Amino acid sequence: MVNRVTDILCDGFVKREVGENTVIIRDGHIIKIEQNIELKAIAKPRNKASNVEDNNVGVVYTETYRDADRNIRIYALGFNSILNKEPVMYYIDKGFG
């Protein structure tokens, strides 16, 4: 609830203070609105991060080059996860796409 409005005339504009808000008005148009907001600090977490092993998480790998038009193209795609003993690589043929 607003209990006080203050208008101050300064150099051809009106500075209107309404609670925590300040509005600058010139020639009947709002030029600027300011609002004072008290921001609370974010509390630092108290627990320590721990590593969790997830067998469903893996790595996707791409190899790229720039073509004659300077576009980036992928020529190889690979992946590895705990489910594979060796990384799996696929090389894309130049005639593809």
Beta bridge partners of 83: none
Domain count, the chain: 2
Q: Is residue 68 assigned to a domain?
A: yes
Q: Which of 73, 79, 78 is nearest to 97 (CA)?
A: 73
Q: Is residue 44 assigned to a domain?
A: no
Show the low-confidence residues of the chain (pLDDT under 70): 1-2, 48-57, 94-97
pLDDT given for residue 14 in this prediction: 92
Give the separation between CA 14 and CA 16, rounded to whole angstroms. 6
Q: Is residue 28 assigned to a domain?
A: yes
The percent helix, strand, coil of the chain (3-state, each to 5) is 0, 50, 50
Q: Residue 18 belongs to what domain range?
A: 5-35
Is pTM beyond 0.85? Reply is: no
